[in-house]
Amino acid sequence: MKLRKVRIENFRAIKESEIVFADALGAIRPVTVLAGPNGSGKTSVLFAIVQALRGVMGYRTNDVPEPEELDIHSPLSMGGLSPIPPSISVTLDIEFDEEERVAIRRVMAEVSPEERLGDLPNGKVRAVWKYPPERYPDGTLKPIWYLNRTEPRDAVPWFHGRKNAITGWTSRKFRDRALLDKIGGIYLFPQDRSLRSRVMGERVSQDEESTAPAERKGRDTSSVWGVLEYLSNYSRSAEHVKPEENWEQRIRDGFNQICAPKEYLGFMYRSDDPLGAPYFKDNGRTYPLDMAASGEQVIIEYLARLTYPSPMNHSIVLIDEPEIHLHPGWIRQLYLALPKIGVGNQYILTTHSTELYAAAARDQALIEMGQLIEAN
């Protein structure tokens, strides 16, 4: 799934904006960088995409709050309310490629045969989401995630492919794992600063006998730590893990490409650390994830989240200000590495970083959303 164009009206900082994610030859760019001053609407673009799609895609996130009246971009009226209150409108031009459409058809037939997939001959769908939501004929409000309109009309089930693929795979309704890897989804990396809670997560069990620090005991896969532990165990437990399914190795390779000479060693159990931890190595020193620098935690978070619950391929990945916590050298390396993480992903980044700005400009992948100094 790829996003060719988004048109946003009356959402947060944006009165009206249209962004095309294709280059001059019409090809959708693997990476697009939105740059501009504070308040120019960069984050609003990412949030608008999530608001429009999360309902139909079953993407659960607390990082984008549910829409409310204050999200409507309302011009200040002089001496009274504006006669027609504006509404938010987000229009997405989305494309599913041939291979992805075939995979979605197969998954839906096996997992959700009651849903009818309409024809999508060229793979193109225009989806429109509005807020406040419309009303049903009986006067009740439609859910806030309701997609108001699609062209073609019956295109909504196409967006259910990935959700169904994940549940179908985990419930063993189908066994062809390649299907899952061909269907795209959506994921947002927010810019909030609660890095530690995202990386370390919450304890799910306590072993009072253990002398390990409390925060190192038993973590679920909502945390990066838990994901790394799960993927490591998966690699070890399966008898014949195919190279392409050795996710821990892929995370190691990705980290080492971006952060060399630092290395991610993997989730390791040691005599002095029987509960185990994700371990890193730098200049002869090894240290666990909770002792890693915040930049290292950020990179490992990107890699882990794009791998679990299923490696993201053909997906729309939104990253809000990836430069946070990162040294400029790593920002450059991350920009180069992103297109190689997963297959056929479309990355949309926002930034204030001059490093990202320059790199994207050189790739003709920069969209400027406003100048700090406006011409009079």
| Binding footprint of another protein on the chain (CB under 8 A) | 4-5, 20, 22-26, 257, 259-261, 327-330, 332-333, 336, 355, 358-359, 361-365
Nearest-approach distance from CB 288 to another protein, in angstroms: 23
Nearest-approach distance from CB 216 to another protein, in angstroms: 30
Helices 161-170, 98-111: crossing angle, 10 deg rounding: 50
Interatomic CA distance for residues 14 and 41, integer angstroms: 6
Q: Which is nearer to another protein, 25 or 78 (CB)?
A: 25
Nearest-approach distance from CB 260 to another protein, in angstroms: 5
Interatomic CA distance for residues 252 and 237, integer angstroms: 18
Q: Which is nearer to another protein, 141 or 336 (CB)?
A: 336
Q: Which is nearer to another protein, 281 or 332 (CB)?
A: 332
Q: Which is nearer to another protein, 71 or 296 (CB)?
A: 296
Nearest-approach distance from CB 67 to another protein, in angstroms: 28
The CB density around residue 243, as the number of other CB atoms within 10 Å, is 7
Interatomic CA distance for residues 271 and 286, integer angstroms: 14
| H or E element at residue 96 | none
Tokens for 267, please give them: 């989730």
Nearest-approach distance from CB 355 to another protein, in angstroms: 7
Q: Which is nearer to another protein, 1 or 359 (CB)?
A: 359
Helices 247-259, 224-237: crossing angle, 10 deg rounding: 130
Nearest-approach distance from CB 35 to another protein, in angstroms: 14
Sign (positive/negative) of CA torsion 114, 61, 256, 321? positive
Q: Which is nearer to another protein, 10 or 333 (CB)?
A: 333
The CB density around residue 310, as the number of other CB atoms within 10 Å, is 19
Nearest-approach distance from CB 172 to another protein, in angstroms: 39
C-beta separation of 35 from 366 below 8 A: yes
Q: Which is nearer to another protein, 18 or 154 (CB)?
A: 18
Q: Which residues of 95-111 are buried (b: 16+ CB within 10 A; e: fewer)?
A: bbeeebbebbebbbebb
